[in-house]
Amino acid sequence: MKPAVLTGEHFLNGDIACAEGAIAAGCRFFGAYPITPATEVAEQMSERLPDVGGTFIQMEDEIAAMTSILGAAWTGVKTMTATSGPGFSLMMETVGLAVVTETPCVVVNIQRAGPSTGLPTMGAQADMMQARWGSHGDYEIIAIAPSSPQEMFDLTIEAFNLSETYRVPVFIMSDEIVGHMSEKVVIPPAKTIKTVRRRKPTGRKKDYLPYHPDKNGVPPMPAIGDGFNIHVTGLTHDERGYPVMSVETQHDMITRLLGKIRSNRKDIVRTRGYLLEDAEIIIVSYGVSSRTSYTAVDEARRMGIKAGLLRLVTVWPFPDEQIQQLAEKAKGFITVEINMGQISREVMRCVGGNAPCHLVGHPGGTIIPPDEVIKLMKEAF
Amino acid sequence: MAAKKQPAHPLEDLIRVDRIPHIWCPGCGVGSVFASCLAAIKDTGIDYRKFTMVSGIGCSGRGAGYVKLDSFHTTHGRAIPFATGIKMAKPDLNVIVFSGDGDLFAIGGNHFIHAARRNMDLTVICINNLIYGMTGGQVAATTPNQAKTATTPYGNPETPFNLPLLAYASGATYVARWTMIHVRDLIHSFVEAINHRGFAFIEVLSPCPINYGRRNKESAMQILHSFQDKTIIQNGADPAALDMDLTKSVTLGKFIHVEKPTQDECYAKVCMGEE
């Protein structure tokens, strides 16, 4: 039996590091369905969860995998599933159920090139808009984009902490390249890892309102068997959790669900700047493409071009303010991502015509070489 | 001496009285099955906090919304995987899935057979009204051949499932069929199913006079009469011989009741090394 936190230096691929991050974060239920290139996450969880008294179950499809983690989450445990494009598509309806019932859970997408079966063994970053808008209706989620096996460990813990804090599904939007690359991963001592657990309700059980929010807009969450007799529904509901088919209830519920993420953006949004202070050309990137972008910035600087990088660690909610500020003085923006233009449109929206915006994209299957970014920089600016 | 306060309903402690009136139509059978289920929960004597109810979508799927337990109204067809997550994460809970034929056997059919195969320790109650009631009476996987529905205006060209046979073939360890008028048998069966360790499936025939009866010229009372006149009770009957024809004969009873290790027991033993 191994401990929950495997403190020490390891050589791990991103998928395995993600699983270890989950275990270290306190994840104790994993609903699986095999899909390349995310299978290693499930395989690692199947081996490790019994070590720590957790439950692994391979379900009959991705819909069931996603649904099982919601059921399990209501018993009070932290839960996760991992998939790739086709499975991510199947999970989308249930993502909406997680949002509207405010069920914390972490969903890992090791992105591969699509659409449809696409390139199962080759990476892409083309599910970014699906992560934001893939389920029907109006909602907000959180999405994180790790760029290395070390970050697959660290940011998986962050994903659980955000999910538990805000009672919202959190997506780890990784890709085949990060998932399958092996690098050094340092796992710190257990006592230095900060983990968050959802707040439970206190006080009177009579007249208890399960969806009455606290100050941060998030209601405390009881578990099955705590004696609160909660009713949880995917229908539009009031603070009692009861379905109410009215315009007013819809308005109140959606306003709070959006508000709890939007009004806490300062706490949620994580970006990293590289040589931004005097940068004239701003590269915006995330995940594996930020590695391309770091190299491109260094290369550009050697050539005397004042380039800098804004790396999105969280992609959703989108860091509007940071980009708006940069747009006040930048000469231009380049978004680097392995798709044909998704996050680049968000950048363009935030820049709002204050500077030219370009995309270095790719239809998927490979990492973007830094040369292409340099080439565009020279041509466009 | 002060008069003892009368309860609003004998099952008041299990009903969300503040949610009444319910949505079920006059002549619908879901309420009777729901009441039988609550009576069975009470009869087991088990602490209510050890119960949870999960429903899918549809008329029967509203059951979870009226029970005063921790209860979940999930997405269409997904009550069983939701319940599976609950059960595997907290095996000491009694998890009841209360839903309809459309939800459990068309959109949710895959989940049903796999939960049965695993002998997942769930009590699955299927109210079979032969139709998609809530959406206005479209053909279901249980609609009799030739029956008229909103999407089979010329009659149903398809063949319905034999649900007890499907459950048995998939691995269910408790299988029964009743109608909503067989209240005593139903309560007894629900109690047995809750106490049974393993996948328990009970099909309950129930009228949908508004959306099935109306199109097939059967009134609510006529359907109830057929439940009385056209049914025979034959415990232990061969599941392969349970095709239904309400114009001739429908076999009711408890067909399967066997002991087999459950999924949560097997996980504890095989994966966690527990004895």
Q: What one-character DSSP code corresponds to residue B60?
A: G
* Sign of the alpha-carbon torsion through B159, B102, A68, A287: positive
- The whole-angstrom separation of Cα B264 and Cα A166 is 31
pLDDT > 60? residue B1: no
Residue A231, strand partner residues: B71
- The whole-angstrom separation of Cα A341 and Cα A134 is 17
From chain A, the residues in CB contact with B270 under 8 A are none
- The whole-angstrom separation of Cα B179 and Cα A289 is 61
pLDDT at B6: 79
- In chain A, pLDDT over 90 holds for what percent of residues? 97
pLDDT at A203: 82
**Using the beta-carbon criterion (under 8 Å), do A64 and B74 form an inter-chain contact?**
no
Over residues B123-143, the pLDDT tens digits come to 999 999 999 999 999 999 999
From chain B, the residues in CB contact with A29 under 8 A are 85, 88-89
Residue A264 C-alpha, separation from nearest chain B C-alpha, in angstroms: 28
Please report the residues numbered 73 through 102 in chain A whose beta carbons come closer than 8 angstroms to any beta carbon of chain B.
73-77, 79, 93-94, 96-97
pLDDT > 80? residue B3: no
Q: What is the dihedral of CA B190, B191, B195, B200, to 10 degrees?
A: -10
Average pLDDT over residues A157-171: 98
Please report the residues numbered 18 through 57 in chain A whose beta carbons come closer than 8 angstroms to any beta carbon of chain B.
28-29, 31, 50, 53, 55-57
- The complex's ipTM? 0.97
From chain A, the residues in CB contact with B71 under 8 A are 229-232
Q: Is B88 on the interface with A (CB under 8 A)?
A: yes
Q: Is B86 on the interface with A (CB under 8 A)?
A: yes
pLDDT at A37: 98
Average pLDDT over residues A200-207: 88
Over residues A81-129, the pLDDT tens digits come to 999 999 999 999 999 999 999 999 999 999 999 999 999 999 999 999 9
> Mean pLDDT, chain A, as a whole number?
97
From chain B, the residues in CB contact with A55 under 8 A are 88-89, 267
Whether residue A114 contacts residue A37, with contact meaning beta carbons closer than 8 Å, is answered with no
- The whole-angstrom separation of Cα B209 and Cα B223 is 8
Over residues B223-260, the pLDDT tens digits come to 999 999 999 999 999 999 999 998 899 999 999 999 99
pLDDT at B274: 87
Q: Centre a 10 Å sphere on the Cβ of residue A255 and count the other Cβ atoms it contains.
A: 13
- The whole-angstrom separation of Cα A149 and Cα A241 is 40
- The whole-angstrom separation of Cα A303 and Cα A327 is 23
Categorize the per-residue pLDDT at B7 as very low, low, confident or very high, splitting at 50, 70 and 90: confident
- Residue closest to B66 by CA, chosen among B25, B126, B11: B11
pLDDT at B2: 61
- The whole-angstrom separation of Cα A119 and Cα A315 is 24
Whether residue A362 contacts residue A338, with contact meaning beta carbons closer than 8 Å, is answered with yes
Over residues B139-192, the pLDDT tens digits come to 999 999 999 999 999 999 999 999 999 999 999 999 999 999 999 999 999 999
On the question of a cis peptide bond just before residue A201, with omega within 30 degrees of 0, the verdict is: no
